[in-house]
Amino acid sequence: MTTLNETSSCVAQYDAQALPVQAAQAIVREWAAPVTTVEHVQLRDALNRVLAKDIVSPIDVPAHDNSAMDGYAFSGAALEGQSGDIALSVAGKALAGHPFDGTTGVTQCVRVMTGATMPSGCDTVVPQEAVARDGDTIRFSAQGLSAGANRRLAGEDLACGAVALKAGRIVRASDLGLLASLGIGEVAVRRRLRVAFFSTGDELRSIGQPLDAGCVYDSNRYTLFAMLKRLDVEPIDLGVVPDEPAALEHALCTAAASADVVITSGGVSVGEADLTRQMLRMLGDVAHWSLAMRPGRPFAFGRIWSGGKPGAGEPAIFFGLPGNPVAVMAAFYQIVREVLLRMSGATTHPAPLLRASCREPIRKRPGRTEFQRGIAARDAQGVWHVTPTGSQGSGVLSSMSEANCFIVLAHEQADLDPGDAVDIMLFDGLI
């Protein structure tokens, strides 16, 4: 089993005291081994699950050549050498689900509706609005029409034997429709990743408890729970753990025994009361980093074991997040989220960034990546603009509720003036 030091030594720019965000992402990505257990679920239960196997189409979609619009189907041979009007006799009618059973000659046509199977001998459709009909005879201009026009071929959408959806795909609403169109009612998916989490600190109180002097309500477990649910993992909430060695050891071992991943908030900085830091040295292979990131500087990552020492019992990947609420969310989205998706078996892609123009000056010190909270909107010309939400303190949780994006300020970026271009990461679809 590769140690964290071995993994870290292979990453450029590794410096535990000032670790760039990209370097931290590269290290944690190396340990993102996907779960191997496969489950078979009914189609309606597959939404947001990760496909364990390629889905191969058992049929052609569409199953038959069919009309792409309402009109008249005829043989494209009737267009050969024609540049003026064409007259055809109507031999019958075809509806979706009710095909025309006869055959047609080159001087005949069939009235068809969108989706109707193309009649025998027909390969072209003229739209109904281009036709003048008199009894059982139609007339239309050959101009602009070519053989095969307005016809959908069998297998044009998806051919029998082709891969419809690849393993690693997170099943979305459109995928359910696609699978249903193939007649597939059950799919193989990875089991849900199990993620245990808890908050640490004697000052924390859970909702419903009296708020003693010097205490605060624990908000981090609720934001973590929500962020985990959006990823469709199985969250295991272990509550608030006091700053007591025995309690911390029990919580960490219990979490490692029940989950694939353990996430804590608080207790990873260098303060005297940060017992989590000391406990992790005993329980596992864990590194404590000072990320070149704002917010979210103190961060811990590694592996812990349920048996109370390295190699004993069940292992779990460990993330120790800061205690400040905004720092928890920023660190989760920039570092933890991709790892959880990878461990779920999903094929991951970087979160898309948009370019926007600053409406206000932004102060930024080179040498760290910053994720400021902003409000982005498009003007009448379709240009994106972004305004910081105000105070960017890592404890100002209301700034996350007010914002609709992160303003992503790169590692070496400096101050920005109004009108300067910046990258933004929209919360929609992320949070």
What is the predicted pLDDT for the residue at 52? 98
Question: What letter represents residue 231's amino acid?
Answer: L
Of 364, 370, 366, the closest CA to residue 407 belongs to 370
Distance CA 378, CA 386 (A): 9
What's the sign of the alpha-carbon dihedral 65, 69, 73, 79?
negative
pLDDT per residue over 35-76, tens digit each?
999 999 999 999 999 999 999 999 999 999 999 999 999 999
What is the predicted pLDDT for the residue at 380? 92
Question: By mean pLDDT, which of 97-101, 152-156, 263-267 is the weakest?
Answer: 263-267
Domains of the chain: 4-37+191-343 (3.40.980.10), 38-61+156-190 (3.90.105.10), 66-152 (2.170.190.11), 354-426 (2.40.340.10)
CB of 383 closer than 8 Å to CB of 424: no
CB of 237 closer than 8 Å to CB of 264: no
Residue 280 CB coordination number (10 Å) = 23
Tell me the mean pLDDT in the region 80-104: 94
Arithmetic mean of pLDDT over the chain: 92
CB of 393 closer than 8 Å to CB of 400: no
| Residue 144: φ, ψ to 5° | 80, -5
CB neighbour burial string for 36-63, b if at least 16 within 10 angstroms, e if fewer:
eeeeeeebeebebbbbbeebebebbbbe
Tokens of 139: 């007339």
Strands 186-190 and 38-42: what pairing? antiparallel
pTM for the whole structure? 0.87
Of 253, 302, 345, 255, the closest CA to residue 54 belongs to 345
pLDDT per residue over 347-405, tens digit each?
998 889 999 999 999 999 999 999 999 999 999 999 999 999 977 776 677 888 899 99
Of 101, 133, 135, the closest CA to residue 117 belongs to 101
pLDDT per residue over 197-251, tens digit each?
999 888 888 888 888 888 888 899 999 999 999 999 999 999 999 888 889 999 9
Question: What letter represents residue 343's amino acid?
Answer: M
Tokens of 80: 């050969």
| Residue 248: φ, ψ to 5° | -65, -45
At how many degrees (to 10) do helices 245-258 and 275-283 cross?
50
CB under 8 Å to 316, separation ≥6 — which residues?
196, 255, 256, 259, 260, 261, 262, 303, 304, 305, 306
Asked if the model's pLDDT at residue 330 lies above 60, the reply is yes
Looking at the chain, the whole-number percentage of residues with pLDDT higher than 90 is 76
CB of 57 closer than 8 Å to CB of 160: yes
Tokens of 198: 């808890």
Tell me the mean pLDDT in the region 10-21: 88
Asked if the model's pLDDT at residue 272 lies above 50, the reply is no
Tell me the mean pLDDT in the region 101-122: 96
What is the predicted pLDDT for the residue at 430? 59
What is the predicted pLDDT for the residue at 280? 85
Tell me the mean pLDDT in the region 273-301: 85
Q: What is the dihedral of CA 53, 54, 56, 62, to 10 degrees?
A: 120
pLDDT per residue over 156-186, tens digit each?
999 999 999 999 999 999 999 999 999 999 9
What is the predicted pLDDT for the residue at 275? 67
Asked if the model's pLDDT at residue 147 lies above 90, the reply is yes
What is the predicted pLDDT for the residue at 273? 46
Which SS3 state, helix, strand or coil, does residue 309 take?
Answer: coil
Tell me the mean pLDDT in the region 259-280: 77
